[in-house]
A and B are shown apart, each in its own frame.
Chain A
Amino acid sequence: MTSRESILNNIKKNIPSSTIELPDTNIPHTSYKDKNKQFAISLKSVGGDAVWLEDESIDEFVEKNYQNSEVIVSTCKEFTGETKNANIPNTPHPLKNVDLAVIKAEFAVAENGAVWIKNSDNRHRALYFLATKLLIIIDKNNIVDTMHEAYEQITFDKKGYGVFISGPSKTADIEQALVIGAHGPTSACVLFVRKVSY
């Protein structure tokens, strides 16, 4: 008997003939009058920033706010200031020197400051974790209340990887002292813009 069979057989020994139904996960839940405001509060609480871009372009915003970033890569067509194409190297390792990654996200979640990232045209997912700073671009209309709405929008039919990112990487493993910037980015800013092409 293979281990697979022996595990499954042992489980079957005590499987009741009937069980309770799977419940509906979309229970009545919190919604926010001002989703943008809630998102900004949530993101601030986990060490990130949210900005709504009005007349400025993304290029101008980056020029003004990331002056010290030398190596800049982007997965967002609306930004033209990249200094290096992240999709050229065959392995992600050369991306270790990226100072700023400008990446696009599909939508934002108000309750927890998370954004859903599933760039189908980004070759190396390591980029999101190797870059020192993240600038995340989202269409300002794409914001939902909670994870209930969020998971309604997600599928894995085509691209196999996706991640919710909520703020920069962090740790409190030394005496519960919060340190922003553990292994991943040391800062994360979510920039809401008028339109993003997906």
Chain B
Amino acid sequence: MGHPEKAAEFIANDERMHWHDKALWFVREKRDLASHRLDEWEELREVAKQIKTHTINKLDFYLEEFEKNAKKKGLHVHWAKDAKEHNEIVLKLLLSRGAKKLVKSKSMLTEECHLNPYLENNGIEVVDTDLGERIVQLRDEAPSHIVLPAIHLKKEEVGKTFEKFLKTEKDNCDPTYLTRAARTHLREKFLNADASLTGVNFGIAETGGVVVCTNEGNADLGASLPKLHIASMGIEKIIPRLTDLSVFTRLLARSATGQPITSYTSHFHAPVEGGEMHIIIVDNGRSDIIQNDDFKQSLHCIRCGACINTCPVYRRSGGHSYGYTIPGPIGSTLGASKDLRTNKTLPFACTLCASCSNVCPIKIDLHNQLYKHRQSVVKAGLLGAKKYAVLKVATWVMKHPMLLDFGGSMARKIVPKLPRSILYSKANIWGKKRELPKFPKKSFKELYKEREENK
């Protein structure tokens, strides 16, 4: 099933669709307020873009710098070319140290690698500790958003889930009560964990350390209690200098949730006393995206989710409709780069309104990328037959102005007289859930001509 089919399931519940739309727009508005408070916002975006452009163009150099400096600090560095190798490295680290219980903090990379099922099949207990991720893990769902994993759920649904798994009071869905219940439940998991795994927001080449940004404190509790800390990092997370963080920490949380900074911005350059810290550098298709000048900017992403919150399609179709690890505009371009055939509908889950590109803190040209991916879909012959035929006919008509004028004048006469049963028949895909606009008496061309003549 592609995006349109899965989106149709989501919008079948009209009330939920509007609720979801509003929830995301609320976050977008908080982002606007936070960014408008800084006069230098646009300059920050520009500098961030320059840093990322420079870095991706010298990524081999900075990855080696990072490795060298991390090793100097006593950290272990591993390289994984794909998801399989990443998962095997994690399992080997756990098994060789007799670790059976793993606490994880948010990492979209491990979602992408399907790490959890792999470890569970090999006898490891994996607990996602971010509240939203724990909720979706208990429900056996995927996160529907990269920053707000459970944004698709209502508190009543979370209450029911906790009733079943955490034995909370029946029908109590107060967010504070549920959060406290999760706190108690997860404290035990943290204190009994043998190892922790975190994602990485930034890897600093100059110092050889990694930075993790969270609000809940789960990554920090995980990384500071057990002796073994594994950090999984995509190759594109590298930044050259420590001071680059002055730009990125100012942009990240403001763009994500409208906070001036996350509650915790932890800089890890050493393991806990008597412990060990391992960093796994993961490619999994990223270095292939570097090969393509049209799409390599998508590797500049810092995963704030601003493009997702603002996207009119995401807000009304929900994260699960994309069927890719990362939803929304950034996920649609990354997914299409990774596997065009599987993700062929994603570049079309877009109105080309460009709001994503306008809110992106790194100024990634997201809507242009989706437009280019559409062309690849057509060239690869992956466009649906009906859509392809309609577009072919439209192209032909538009190339013949006389025909277009004639067709237009006929349509203006006939369409308003047609009964709804014909007008909104199955053949009219556009008319699903949409009303045709009122037809004008005259075309723009006719009106313009009249105006010129009357001058």
Contacts and interface: CB of A to CB of B under 8 A. Distances in A.
25 contacts: A2-B79, A21-B54, A22-B240, A26-B243, A27-B44, A28-B40, A29-B38, A30-B39, A46-B260, A93-B225, A96-B187, A111-B250, A113-B260, A146-B250, A151-B243, A152-B243, A160-B73, A161-B269, A163-B266, A171-B215, A171-B216, A173-B130, A175-B154, A183-B190, A184-B220
A170 B216 contact: yes
Nearest to A24: B47
Interface stretch (A55-63, A69-77, A119-127): A119-127
A11 B290 contact: yes
A129 interface: yes
Interface residues of B, number: 92
Contacts, number: 254
Interface string A70-105: 000000000000000000001011001000000000
A42 interface: yes
Nearest to B86: A3
Contacts of B249: 147, 164
B80 A3 contact: yes
B203 interface: no
A182 B79 CA distance: 33
Contacts of B288: 10
A8 B155 contact: no
A132 to B, nearest CB: 11
Contacts of B186: 183
Nearest to A173: B132
Nearest to A114: B261
B235 A25 contact: no
A67 interface: no
A176 B261 contact: no
Chain A interface mostly: loop
A174 to B, nearest CB: 4
Interface stretch (B8-16, B55-63, B324-332): B55-63
Categorize the interface residue count of chain A. 35 or more
B40 A92 contact: no
Contact of B131 (A21, A46, A147, A173): A173
Given A27-B44, A160-B209, A163-B264, A176 B50 contact: no
Contacts of B175: 174-175, 177, 179
Given A12-B60, A27-B44, A30-B39, A126 B54 contact: no
B269 A8 contact: no
A173 B148 contact: yes
Given A147-B245, A163-B265, 14 more contacts: A10-B291, A14-B290, A27-B40, A46-B263, A113-B260, A114-B261, A147-B261, A166-B259, A166-B260, A169-B216, A171-B132, A173-B135, A177-B175, A181-B180
